[in-house]
Amino acid sequence: MHRHGYQGRKLHRERDGRRALVKGLADSLVKYESIETTLPKAKEVLPYLEKLITKAKKGDLHNRRMVISGLQTVASGHKLVDEIAPKLMGRVSGHLRIVRTSLRRGDNAQLARVSFVDDLTAAPVAKSAAKSAAPAVAVPKKEAKS
């Protein structure tokens, strides 16, 4: 029988376990910047984290809180907003990629690597650029004639 109105994969879990799984995968992806998991799990975490990245790029307080609530740890939320999102400003969407890697030995499941498209180590962090631009040379004021 067709499941009307259900979007996404069930991943052999009930709702709470499925939400915790996707949150944990997204958290690990932010923390390690690349993870290897099964292909269906990778396809589920991709749009979830893309939406969080879009919120993190806005960077205001409300979106920061939404990002933190979408990940398992507060530190990962701050890392996404403060370090990763400024490096992804040049891209509108498509921040993540899925690459099929190998078949798992035990059950022959297709494994895939999820990683960021842009190299996060090469791009400078926006906050460090703002700090270096702040100590500018002061221009002397002209004296007023009396």
Specify the pLDDT at position 141.
66
Mean pLDDT in runs of 10 for the chain (146 residues)?
79 94 97 96 96 96 97 96 94 95 96 94 58 55 64
The CATH number of the domain covering residues in 15-120 = 3.90.1030.10
Dihedral, CA of residue 43, residue 48, residue 49 and residue 52, to nearest 10? 170
Q: Which of 23, 121, 33, 15 is nearest to 74 (CA)?
A: 23
pLDDT at res. 50: 96
pLDDT of residue 8: 85
Torsion of CA 33, 100, 57, 135, to 10 degrees: 40
pLDDT of residue 143: 66
Q: Map out the domains of the chain as residue ranges.
A: 15-120
Query: What span, in angstroms and rounded, lies between the C-alpha atoms of 91 and 85?
Result: 10
Per-residue burial over 87-113, b if 16 or more Cβ lie within 10 Å, else e, is: bbeeeeeebbeeeeeeeeeeeeeebbe
pLDDT for the residue numbered 144: 63
The confidence score (pLDDT) of residue 129 equals: 47
Instruction: Confirm if 113 and 98 have CB atoms less than 8 A apart.
Output: yes
